[in-house]
Amino acid sequence: GDSVTQTEGQVALSEEDFLTIHCNYSASGYPALFWYVQYPGEGPQFLFRASRDKEKGSSRGFEATYDKGTTSFHLRKASVQESDSAVYYCALGGTGGYKVVFGSGTRLLVSP
């Protein structure tokens, strides 16, 4: 079945560092790919999505590019802030049409 792999369980950075969180997926066809962010005590919030090869999604300085060749959708941000500390989930919208499958999440800790 469809699946999403996030290799980093936790990432610790300092403010203004560059961020990369790796996401690889396994699915047939062209699933929609998503990033969600979850702050303590809240549900996951939609960050952005991409639906086709080479499409870039972006929001709040975060971005990721859909790469069907490497089946990846890595999250990047040029300069992180302490307020970016949260858990980030990569997800795919199943090619069956409705089910969204989430990765295991990556906890980002940014120190001032």
Partner 1 sequence: NAGVIQTPRHKVTGKGQEATLWCEPISGHSAVFWYRQTIVQGLEFLTYFRNQAPIDDSGMPKERFSAQMPNQSHSTLKIQSTQPQDSAVYLCASRDWGSQNTLYFGAGTRLSVL
Rule CB under 8 A: which residues touch partner 1?
A: 32, 34, 41-46, 49, 51, 89, 93-94, 98-105
| Residue 39 Cβ vs partner 1, minimum distance, rounded to whole Å | 10
Q: Which is nearer to partner 1, 8 or 94 (CB)?
A: 94
- Our CA dihedral for 48, 51, 55, 61, rounded to 10 degrees, sits at 0
| Residue 19 Cβ vs partner 1, minimum distance, rounded to whole Å | 21
Q: Are strands 56-59 and 62-65 parallel, antiparallel or unpaired?
A: antiparallel
Residue 4 CA to residue 91 CA, distance in Å, equals 6
Q: Which is nearer to partner 1, 51 or 83 (CB)?
A: 51
